[in-house]
Structure 1
Amino acid sequence: MAKAYWVATYRSVSNPEALAAYAKLSGPAIMAAGGRILVRGMPVHLYEEGLQQRTVVIEFDSVEQARAAHDSPAYQEALAALAGGAERDIRIVEGV
């Protein structure tokens, strides 16, 4: 079974306090669901048409585990804390 990666990029953050509240809840929720945070932060260098956006990469043992983490009550509570505080793009991709 291939690992899965949850990739989040932040287009904008309009409420840093909401992002901080989200981060406080989301990390423990994701780790409790089996996620391992591999990358979190701003790019240190950009190539081609890269964007200066906060990026997070989380590894899971499977797509199903990643989806379950996102849909879990604990992560949904974190999302509620973020509500309207950031514009993001989240994708789950399967490893090779």
Structure 2
Amino acid sequence: MKSRRSLLFVLLTAAVIGGLPAKALHAQPVTGAKPPAYYISEFELTDPEGIRPYSAAVESTFAPFGGRYVVRGGKVASLEGEPTKRLIMIAFPSMEQAQAWYDSPRYRELMPIRHRSAKSRVFIMEGFAN
């Protein structure tokens, strides 16, 4: 049940913060248009000092893949259920580019820092094609 609430929270956050117009929710995909993808991490920091090298370098690893922050922490107002500790959302032009970034050698070098300094659930989610 808790994971369903977390997923609902992430989906609602993506829709609101991503600025999707209401008509996009009902639009048919354009042939050949690739939908964007979102890297989403529910993040609980366990070592604030240890995460600093990761935080300082991570953006330089995803920018070459077309990634950009949509959400990076910030204030959370819980409407239903318990909110996540911290949410990170990075938009990519496609699932392929998001996966390529995640699998890239530069990001793989940083990943152990995140694993040591935080507990997280991480996934990539496809969005709507423009």
Is TM more than 0.5 here?
yes
Indicate the residue corresponding to 2:108 in structure 1. 76
Q: Percent identity?
A: 32
Local SS of the residue matching 1:51:
coil
Shift of 1:27: 1.2
CA distances 1:3-40 after superposition (whole Å, capped 9, x unpaired):
10111111x22111221111112111011222011110
Q: Unpaired segments of 5 or more residues in structure 2?
A: 1-33
Out of 66, 71, 82, the position equivalent to 1:34 is: 66
TM-score of the superposed pair, with normalisation by structure 1: 0.89
TM-score of the superposed pair, with normalisation by structure 2: 0.67
Amino acid at match of 1:5: Y
Local SS of the residue matching 1:84:
helix
- Tell me the C-alpha RMSD between the 2 structures: 1.4
Structure with more of its chain in helix, by fraction: 2
The answer as to whether partners of 1:43 and 1:53 remain within 8 angstroms in 2 is no
Structure scoring higher RCO (CA < 8 A, sep ≥ 6) equals: 1
The answer as to whether partners of 1:70 and 1:76 remain within 8 angstroms in 2 is yes
Local SS of the residue matching 1:27:
helix
Amino acid at match of 1:45: A
Shift of 1:81: 2.6
Structure with more of its chain in strand, by fraction: 1
Structure 1 range deviating more: 25-34 or 86-95: 25-34
Distance in structure 2 (CA, Å) of the matches to 1:46 and 1:19: 26
Distance in structure 2 (CA, Å) of the matches to 1:93 and 1:71: 16
Indicate the residue corresponding to 2:36 in structure 1. 3
